[in-house]
Amino acid sequence: MNPLRSLADYERFIYTLPQQFSSLRSSTLTVIRRGANVARPTGEIELTGEYRIIVREKLSFASTPGVIKNYGYEVWRGGEKLYWYDPQPHPDDPSLASTYPHHKHVPPDIKHHRIPAPELSFTEPNLPFLIQETEQLLEP
């Protein structure tokens, strides 16, 4: 089932993430409704090993299913930002065309070094992938 089927389904999805992923230590994710058809999930997911994911999304449920209109996801370990994802268009960068506009900012020059992000979507929740990707960092 796609949690973007309705705003209520997405809220249930967000608030049950700790039950779905054993690596989650805590979550401050909150779905802030901005009218009948718009919501802004924001907050942090804390995982074991000092990892955390900062989440900012803008959702629209003007049609069914809903869509993610915008997002920003940052992955941190302690005080170090490891990488982030955003859909800011970079039409002049042909290396990102395959997943336009989804991309990941990675070291060494995290602000300017971008790679395609085929796992991200505007029509499916991105958080399960992000949590699973971060869980892989926990493995020795």
**pLDDT(138) > 90:** no
Q: What is the pLDDT of residues 45-98, one digit of tens each?
A: 999 999 999 999 999 999 999 999 999 999 999 999 999 999 999 988 999 999
Q: What is the pLDDT of residues 110-131, one digit of tens each?
A: 999 999 999 999 999 999 999 9
**pLDDT(139) > 80:** no
Q: Which residues pair with 105 in a beta bridge?
A: 84, 114
CA distance 60 to 65: 9
Between the CA atoms of 14, 34, 57 and 6, what dihedral angle is there, to the nearest 10 degrees?
A: 50
- Give the predicted TM-score (pTM) of the model: 0.95
pLDDT at position 1:
77
Classify each residue of 28-64 as buried b or exposed e, where b means 16 or more C-beta atoms within 10 Å of its C-beta: ebebeeeeeebbebbbebbbeeebbbbbebbbbbeee
Containing 103, the helix (H) or strand (E) segment is: strand 103-105
Please tell me whether residue 8 adopts helix, strand or coil conformation. helix
When pLDDT is cut at 50, 70 and 90, the band that residue 29 belongs to is very high
